[in-house]
Amino acid sequence: MFSLPSDDFKLDTTQFSISENPFKNYNGKTIGNIELIKLKALGTRMDKPDEKPKSFIQKTGNTVNFNTRERVILNNLLFSSGDIVDPLIIADNERILRELPYIKDARIYLKPREDNPEIVDVEIITKDVLALSFDIEARDFDSGVLRVNHKNIFGSGHEIDNRFSVDQSSDQRYSYQIRYRVPNIKRSFISFEANYANTVNQDFSSIKLQREFISPKIKFAGGIEFTNQRLRFTELSNIISDEEYDFQTINQRYDFQDFWLARAFPLNLKDPIRNERTRLIVSGRISNIKFTLRPEVDTELNQPFHNRTLAIGSVGISQRRYFKDQLIFGYGRTEDIPYGYQIELLGGYEWAEFGHRYFLGGKAGRGGYMGNLGYFLGGFSLESFLKNKIFEQGVFKADFRFFSSLIDLNRWKFRQFINVNYTYGIDRFSNEYIDIRDGNGIRGLKSNTLRGTQRFLINIETVSFTPFEAADFKLAVFGFYDLGMVNNGSKNIFSEKAQSGMGLGFRIRNDNLTFKAIEIRLAYYPDAPVGLPMTDLSLSGNSGFNFSDFLITKPSPSLFK
């Protein structure tokens, strides 16, 4: 399927750099005209915007795809003609455009006028993706799922995600789910989202309005959410081994309301860059959940199904700046890597039907590049509820992430990734646990017995971004080693027998499409629990990793998972 490209495998013209550096020389000048150059999804290049699509497939794909409308791009700008150039705001805006789900890449260029160098015209180049995606899952001769997703309806920037299911053997033969999202209403950067589902296991409807601190220029953030849901799910119980366990079906229905508001304040630091990038953020939130259908509850029974109202507030400091790089989690597009720090203190009070309690917590994180070695991100959090002077349902987390600088061996590019996590649950409820199975620790491992309230994980991965490509589909090969330990917290986690998984695989990705990367992985488990296979071959979609960018947002207790 794949062949070597005719020319050398090179990065695009964007090199590793601090995001605001290209705009520093124009600080304080006046913005003149704003020109948009919108590139189609297929057969175009950011470094050669005049290059046209050549193949029949490229031309056909571009014909059926709606290119993003000009007003949609202008709607996502933080500046206008006549404004004074602020390099940090321009850099923020370049990143914001790249984060749009219908944009693959974006560049902003400032060009001083020959007759008046104090005025700079702005050239914005954006490259679309093919916004339509779909997948079909055939489960049997009489059942299956069709999912149709569009990230840019008629070039408007609106998103819609539809999921149709058929199961002739089910109590409900036909099921439907839909999500509709407007990412930016009238240049306010307020997003609107509506969800609806009608399936055999779920009836769900919700609406949400939300605004985040996408840039330090934003002073206010907040959100409103209303949800009603009926859910039926299966929960394992009396687990003896991976072959011996019971299960029970749980039905629930609840109404949920959530309101939060945050305000960012400058700190008047002496360094002008740090002053622009650092904010003191004060936020408050109140949420309420009321169940109309649930299992039997009591003071010490099924606590997650208790009716409750939580008021919580936080105060914190956030500093965010960004580097631009490539070939980290993408396959050639420009990626924005945050560096900075976050410190946050939280406090609150919960009114519940079986007793009230306080909430206390703190979080801290820091990340950045260390010379030519690579990128480090570290953070920890400690939080707990306090009831009758006893801490309960608390958690301590410590995370460490690293990826190396790009190792360039001619046409082959390599990166090394390492993730380390430690989680400890403080007097968690009897039906709360963490595990090290697939998705939470050791890739592909499907054990139900490896669970508890204390966990230690190491994930190591070496990735080669190969020079092989076919029709803009690029190939990455990876090897990995995962190691995890878990117990109930009563003894040292390092005294536990470690479980591990190792293997090889490859990912195929076309950054011009909204499809996930296709991942094929073969894993081997040398000490697999009794009853589980020692190998696993999987085909799945890999959506990649999102950076934690030291953003302080809606205050909330951490998930224990």
In terms of C-beta distances under 8 Å and separation of at least 24 residues, what long-range contacts does 188-193 make, across chains too? Answer: 189/214, 189/218
With contact defined as beta carbons under 8 Å apart, do 522 and 504 qualify?
yes
Partners of 109 in beta bridges:
123
With contact defined as beta carbons under 8 Å apart, do 406 and 416 qualify?
no
Positions in the chain whose pLDDT score sits under 70: 1-16, 543-547
With contact defined as beta carbons under 8 Å apart, do 232 and 202 qualify?
yes
Nearest alpha-carbon partner for 266 in 275, 258, 256, 253: 275
With contact defined as beta carbons under 8 Å apart, do 420 and 380 qualify?
no
Task: Spell out the alpha helix ranges (H) of 128-201.
Answer: none
Q: What is the CATH number of domain 21-128?
A: 3.10.20.310
CA atoms of 342 and 377, how far apart (whole Å): 11
CA atoms of 216 and 547, how far apart (whole Å): 18
**Which token pair is 160?**
């819609």
CA atoms of 555 and 493, how far apart (whole Å): 30
pLDDT at 545: 62
Tens of pLDDT along 365-389?
Answer: 999 988 888 999 999 999 999 999 9
pLDDT at 309: 98
pLDDT at 547: 67
CA atoms of 176 and 199, how far apart (whole Å): 6
49: DSSP letter: T
CA atoms of 546 and 552, how far apart (whole Å): 16
Pick the CATH number of 201-542 from 3.40.109, 2.40.160, 2.160.20, 2.30.29: 2.40.160
**Which token pair is 193?**
């989202």
Q: What angle do CA 183, 186, 189 make, to 5 degrees?
A: 45
pLDDT at 296: 93
Q: Which residues of 389-410 are buried (b: 16+ CB within 10 A; e: fewer)?
A: eeeebbbbbebebbbbbbeeee
pLDDT at 10: 45
pLDDT at 16: 60
513: DSSP letter: B
Listed by start position, the domains of the chain span 21-128, 201-542
Q: Do 21-128 and 201-542 have matching folds?
A: no
